[in-house]
Structure 1
């Protein structure tokens, strides 16, 4: 099976298939950050001229212990998604450490979501291990607010930048009391220019950005959310975040 297609399908299935809702939070960070290879074997499988192949999951070394503990669930997911054809059938799923190269470019990956954006944001928040920086013009989504509160209780460093909008008032007191929150006033000759960013940085590792404001109403609009793993791009967003934050704190 095509390795790239298999990984994309595994990630999507974890996001949307209720069959794996019991282990989604644990498996998603592992599968999404792993390299997946379909490795042909020399022995014939069940069809004429069909060979076995192993699905090799190259897991980032810091996640190997967790992946090993969850091997049965990973196997269940891979066998469920894998598509057999006339050339290959799955024989085994192997967990191996992701190779560390010093002479290759850092990992860069991008994806875009048009539906169920709130779910993607929630997963991104839950994946955070160290910090979450949010810059969003409108923030009135109670579900996302509660997810941030849970992460704060686990010691995650959280900063939030929002625009000075009437619709932000409902959550404003809670945002200020619980997080390092900055409110950016309107500017310009007529006082109508506003901070209009919509991005979230997680662990200075990846970024979620697009048209989606953190409001309940945004779940019913036509919106986009791009998720990007690219240290150079994340650095640029982080620099912009600090600029806005320091100018308005």
Structure 2
């Protein structure tokens, strides 16, 4: 089964933004008769995330389209002997381990990077994001207005580079620090994307490919992206 077949199959179940019992049964039957390697499973998951991002109407409640995505992930997880290997790691600052790992993840992305962070002031990370944008990786950034115009903040610079940026301009704070890479890995933790976090602060960073966490963070990103629309 090639990518176009997978895409068409998933799109058919997403037409009304939810999966019916018969569609679930059909997908279960199809996947039970296909030899799916971990690589192929990753491709199906990635295709489902792209459909979720690109075809979900802005007016549609997140929980409705999210239930479709969760159904797809459950079907894939139930495919006999084909569950993907769970990969997770933790890093800590001070030291450059966290910033270097963020840059390597950005460098390795091929299609999509969604960044949701309170602020970015680490020029090393900023340059790596700009390089990804130049090589045609689709980058989106959500940040907070409290820090976006501070001296040293790189959010405006990234926006001027042509990268889509949306800002929380409410009286409260968008205080998340997470990013998604090609719908394959989620990065999160207390670590701020700043030089001071790298040099001075005791912070943590977690990276995982856990499908359940990918779903939840992807949904949160899309919710905030729609909420902070200009």
TM superposition score category, shorter chain reference? 0.5 to 0.7
RMSD (Å) for aligned C-alpha atoms: 2.2
Match of 2:165 in 1: 181
Greater C-alpha Rg:
1
Q: Does 1:211 align with 2:190?
A: yes
More strand by share: 1
- Normalised by the length of structure 1, the TM-score is 0.55
Deviation at 1:102, TM superposition (A): 4.6
Deviation at 1:107, TM superposition (A): 2.7
Give aligned pairs, total.
148
- Classify the secondary structure of the residue corresponding to 2:207: strand
More helix by share: 2
Match of 1:103 in 2: 80
- Classify the secondary structure of the residue corresponding to 2:154: helix
Deviation at 1:118, TM superposition (A): 0.5
Point out 4+ residue stretches in structure 1 off by more than 6 angstroms: none
Cα displacement string for residues 84-135 of structure 1 (whole angstroms, at most 9, x for unaligned residues): xxxxxxxxxxxxxxxxx95232332211111411011111111101111000
2:119–2:147: 8 Å Cα contact kept in structure 1? Answer: no
Q: Does 1:194 align with 2:173?
A: yes
- Pick one of 132, 135, 138 that aligns with 1:151: 132
Query: Relative to 1, partners in 2 of residues 1:242 and 1:152: Cα closer, same or farther, differing over 3 Å?
Result: same
Q: Mind listing any 5+ residue stretches in structure 2 that lack a counterpart?
A: 1-37, 41-77
- Classify the secondary structure of the residue corresponding to 1:114: strand
2:148–2:156: 8 Å Cα contact kept in structure 1? Answer: no
- Classify the secondary structure of the residue corresponding to 1:183: strand
Match of 1:223 in 2: 203
- Pick one of 152, 155, 158 that aligns with 1:172: 155
Match of 1:53 in 2: none
Bigger RCO (CA 8 Å, 6+ sep): 2
Q: Mind listing any 5+ residue stretches in structure 1 that lack a counterpart?
A: 1-58, 62-100, 188-192
